[in-house]
């Protein structure tokens, strides 16, 4: 798998971790076709942005964001911090990234200083993930996503995370697209 655009275009990103994953855990990277569609949509938001990659896996989406103009990326995953560290090894020193080995909901529910705000948050949980309503609400309530920021959710086409939104939640769906069994939902944070 390779970075598909920007300053690191063509750089390889591996999917095999230097540390073994627990049984039943597998990396399912976002495909190049899906990444290309996402980055066409969010391109205007990328220059100088802060990007949060949740359920980061190999880190390919956050790495792609850095390649295309983000100035900072944070990666959160319960298992793959060693793999992400390996995959970000080629990134220039002037570009910052941080890796958190943590459960995503725990990370989102923690108090974060005001300087930890992101213009773009991406999440790619396992397709059998059952906590989509909690995930969407946790992103909104965490205050990590800036006003007018984007939350991009990759999920199974059989799940409907947007239907769990309440009126008081400040996330609204602005784009959706299906790629076979995969669906991408893009939310924007703003007053309803």
Q: Which domains does the chain have, with CATH numbers?
A: 33-160+176-181 (3.40.50.150)
**Signed CA dihedral, 91, 96, 62, 49: sign only:** negative
Lowest mean pLDDT among 27-36, 81-90, 138-147, 178-187: 27-36
pLDDT tens for 33-71 read: 999 999 999 999 999 999 999 999 999 999 999 999 999
Higher-confidence position of 73 and 112: 73
State whether residue 28 is helix, strand or coil.
coil
> What does DSSP assign to residue 29?
P
pTM equals: 0.91
pLDDT tens for 96-152 read: 899 999 999 999 998 887 778 999 999 999 878 888 888 988 998 888 999 999 999
Please enumerate in sequence order all residues whose Cβ is within 8 A of that of 152, keeping only pairs 6 or more positions apart, or say none.
38, 42, 120, 121, 122, 123, 184, 185, 186, 187
Higher-confidence position of 185 and 166: 185
Sheet holding 50-54, edge to edge: 96-101, 72-77, 50-54, 118-123, 145-156, 182-189, 171-179
Q: For residues 80 and 70, give the distance between their C-alpha atoms in angstroms, rounded to a whole number.
A: 22
């Amino acid at each position: 798998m390779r970075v598909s655009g920007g300053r690191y275009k063509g750089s390889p990103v591996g999917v095999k971790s230097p540390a073994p994953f627990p049984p039943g855990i597998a990396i399912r990277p976002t495909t190049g076709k899906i990444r290309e569609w996402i980055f066409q949509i969010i391109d205007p938001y990328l220059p100088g942005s802060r990007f949060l990659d949740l359920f980061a896996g190999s880190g390919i989406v956050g790495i792609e964001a850095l390649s295309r103009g983000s100035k900072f990326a944070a990666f959160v995953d319960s298992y793959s911090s060693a793999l992400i560290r390996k995959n970000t090894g080629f990134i220039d020193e002037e570009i910052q990234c941080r890796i958190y080995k943590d459960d995503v909901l725990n990370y989102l529910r923690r108090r974060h200083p005001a300087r930890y705000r992101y213009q773009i948050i991406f999440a790619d949980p396992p397709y059998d993930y059952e906590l989509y309503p909690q995930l969407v609400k946790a992103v909104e309530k965490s205050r990590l996503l800036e006003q007018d920021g984007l939350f991009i959710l990759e999920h199974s086409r059989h799940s409907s995370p947007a239907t769990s939104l309440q009126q008081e939640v400040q996330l609204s769906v602005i784009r959706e697209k299906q790629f076979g069994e995969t669906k991408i939902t893009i939310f924007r944070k703003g007053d309803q």
